[in-house]
Amino acid sequence: MADLRVVVVGAGPAGVRAAATLAAAGLRPTIVDEGIKPGGRIYQQPPEGAERPAAELYGFDAAKATRLHAIVPALRMRIDYRPRTLVWNVFEGALDLLTAEGRMEQLGFDVLLLATGATDLALPFPGWTLPGVFSLGGAQIALKTQGCAIGRRVVFLGAGPLLPLVAWQYVKAGGEVAAVLDATPFVAKLRGAWRMASAPATLAKGVYYTGQLRRAGVPMHYDVRRPRVDGAGRVERIRFEAGGRTHEAACDAVGASFGLRSETQLADLAGCRFVYEPRARQWLPHREAGGRSSVKGVYLAGDGAGIAGADAAELAGERAALAVLEDLGYRFDVNRALDLDGRLARLDRFRRGLETAYPFPSHLVADLPDETLVCRCEGIDAATLRRTIRDKDAREVNRLKALSRSGMGRCQGRMCGLAAAELLAHARGADLASAGRLRGQPPIKPIPIVAEALE
């Protein structure tokens, strides 16, 4: 098996741990990653010249981040590491790549382990296209990589554990946070706490972040409804409803996301079977024992196959690598595999608690004004989608795409696809599963025309 081609896509916690496990067994895996350095989004490293102490960048998780960062350099002679490389297609046993040098290449594989991670779940609201509105992940990346804030006076809006974390990181860095606006009710946090107690250290961190924000005097509102960002050419203020009253906060930037969305496009192009996951409100690639997909030779690990967090991603990466070794006939530690299965099951209970604590804010979809853009690439507003659903009887999101062009732009529906499906389901009074999912299309992310022309 000396010529066996094993490729890991993604150098976050899942991908790095998977590659390390494969290398320890004698394989020489290839890691392909868009990032400049390993770590993924959660443990993203600053570029050269912008380094800062790990404790400043990662807080309580500094030791985990430092340990993960050291793995790839330590294995440099036993792995093929390709940073700054975009995988934009999977076809007939090969990956189409855009390399760091801006050239197109193909990379064949016998085994493919997808650890593609997640990105922000975007929901439209009035003013979300104004300059100065960022995703929560974007706000966090700006702080981690360049040590700069997205504005002088920032409001954070959303749903999910990333909301208090990013707000606390800004306060800790000396930024001014004008308000934290949670679109989910506070009582939901209490309902989810008993399940989250299965990971007490992680729960304690969330409580700490919220407590520190209150101690810093940051206004915090729950069950926020009808947010609207206003400004003449850029963000100047945000208006919203909470507690039966209308509020306003002056700001020059807004960080907004409503949870996380698994990056599943490569799994789709690889031919994996998808199933609807009602807890996540997403269609996800089906995972069998040890991270095996429905396609022989394709494995799944980390948030790209279901949001579970960095700790679970690292465990899942190792577990998927053990499944690869088992299927290839290599020796592997059966007891370690069973231990990982047990630990992942316990973390899944914590995940269910998070989903209870931060339920999907469906009221944002119900209250979305007609004039609000949903598909930014194609300039499609909510009124156009609702009219298409009503007048042309669009019952499925791919049909809605064909009739309205929503999701046909540069992002291929990565940003608007879930919002369009939610709007479709709400307009029809149907469950979200019936709306279906957008079929993956290459390139999964924009690629420069000049790169193709060079070939």
Q: Which of 343, 299, 347, 294 is nearest to 320 (CA)?
A: 299
* Both structure tokens of 313: 């991603």
Q: Which of 318, 295, 207, 302 is nearest to 264 (CA)?
A: 302
Helix (H) or strand (E) holding 58, with range, is helix 54-58
Q: Which of 252, 255, 184 is nearest to 222 (CA)?
A: 184
- Domains of the chain as residue ranges with CATH: 6-119+261-332 (3.50.50.60), 122-258 (3.50.50.60), 368-435 (1.10.10.1100)
What letter would DSSP give residue 291? G
Q: What is the pLDDT of residue 228?
A: 98
| Cα 36 to Cα 143: distance, rounded to the nearest angstrom | 16
Using only the alpha carbons of the chain, give its radius of gyration.
Answer: 22
How many alpha carbons fall within 13 Å on the CB side of residue 180?
A: 29
User: At 88, phi and psi to the nearest 5?
Assistant: -115, 0
Pairing of strands 6-9, 373-375: unpaired
Q: What is the pLDDT of residue 202?
A: 86
**15 Cβ contact partners less than 8 Å away, ≥ 6 residues apart:** 8, 9, 31, 33, 40, 113, 115, 301, 302, 317
Burial of residue 290 (CB within 10 Å: 0-12, 13-18, 19+) is buried
| Cα 325 to Cα 27: distance, rounded to the nearest angstrom | 9
| Cα 130 to Cα 235: distance, rounded to the nearest angstrom | 6
| Cα 280 to Cα 260: distance, rounded to the nearest angstrom | 9
For the sheet containing 133-134, what is the strand order? 133-134, 253-257, 153-158, 176-182, 220-221
Burial of residue 98 (CB within 10 Å: 0-12, 13-18, 19+) is buried
Q: What is the pLDDT of residue 454?
A: 47
Q: What is the pLDDT of residue 420?
A: 96
**165 Cβ contact partners less than 8 Å away, ≥ 6 residues apart:** 140, 206, 209
- Classify 157 as helix, strand or coil: strand
Structure pTM?
0.95
- Residue 281 contacts residue 362 (beta carbons within 8 Å): no
> CA separation (Å) from 44 to 85, 118, 135, 187, 356?
16, 13, 16, 33, 28
Query: Which residue has tokens 């400004």?
Result: 231
- Per-residue pLDDT 10s for the chain (455 aa) are 558 999 999 999 999 999 999 999 999 999 999 999 999 989 999 888 888 888 888 888 999 999 999 999 999 999 999 999 999 999 999 999 999 888 999 999 999 999 999 999 999 999 999 999 999 999 999 998 888 999 999 999 999 999 999 999 999 999 999 999 999 999 999 999 888 888 888 889 999 999 999 999 999 999 999 999 999 999 999 999 999 999 999 999 999 999 999 999 999 999 999 999 998 999 999 999 899 999 999 999 999 999 999 999 999 999 999 999 999 999 999 999 999 999 999 999 988 999 999 999 999 999 999 999 999 999 999 999 999 999 999 999 999 999 999 999 988 898 999 999 999 999 999 999 999 999 988 999 988 876 554 45
User: At 203, phi and psi to the nearest 5?
Assistant: -60, -40
| Cα 52 to Cα 116: distance, rounded to the nearest angstrom | 26
Q: What is the pLDDT of residue 2?
A: 58
